[in-house]
Structure 1
């Protein structure tokens, strides 16, 4: 199985997820989410395949999220507006995002990784 792994190398959660994938022999292409963030089209595709609410794609603990006051905006913005906002800055996107083109996980949860990527 070959997966694309959007991550931020300084993020401890990302490093743990990457280590888990490597330990379980999951072939991955690591993509720096800030230097090469997914495009708006890619984000929309990831969102739709994930089955998650779009707000789960936001890095709500990030400084950029707070600076832009997105907590309130998320509640009223349309799906189109939210995707546009996410596409502006890789630091706004929750990480890591792991996908094989069909399945998508956001963040790192060991039991979810076990279920999805093993």
Structure 2
């Protein structure tokens, strides 16, 4: 398998669980701290397309920034370009972890889905 990009926030419990799973399953990844290196608009647009998911699935809906800025309403009414711009503005707005591999993107940690795609 080609190189795999693992976007995560080291203090996030789900990201830690996902990182442990990757290590236990001998899956080598290039790890990137989403808070230090925000995904760019170009990256996000490509990942959204590759994932087959709507842009709304890339938002960290339980995060402080999402709640404080009432992004729920913006996500419902904003254009894809507007929403990608918001996502690229701060890594904490982005749902994590994200795995970007050759022909697929996984958003969030679902062990069964990861097992099916990464093993």
Same fold (TM over 0.5): yes
CA distance in 1, matches of 2:112, 2:30: 22
Q: Which residue of 2 aligns with 1:5?
A: 6
Report the alpha carbon displacement of residue 17 of structure 1 after superposing the two structures with TM.
0.6
Structure 1 length as normaliser, TM-score?
0.97
1:91 aligns with 2:92: yes
CA-based RMSD of the aligned residues comes to: 0.8
Unaligned runs of 5+ in 2: none
SS in 2 for 1:87: helix
SS in 1 for 2:11: coil
Q: Which residue of 1 aligns with 2:25?
A: 24
Q: Which residue of 2 aligns with 1:39?
A: 40
Report the alpha carbon displacement of residue 80 of structure 1 after superposing the two structures with TM.
0.6
CA distance in 1, matches of 2:103, 2:38: 19
Report the alpha carbon displacement of residue 81 of structure 1 after superposing the two structures with TM.
0.5
Report the alpha carbon displacement of residue 85 of structure 1 after superposing the two structures with TM.
0.6
Give a deviation string over 1:21-64, Cα, whole Å, max 9, x none: 11111110110001011111001111100011110000000000
CA distance in 1, matches of 2:103, 2:93: 23
Give a deviation string over 1:60-94, Cα, whole Å, max 9, x none: 00000011110111111001100011010000000
Report the alpha carbon displacement of residue 101 of structure 1 after superposing the two structures with TM.
3.4
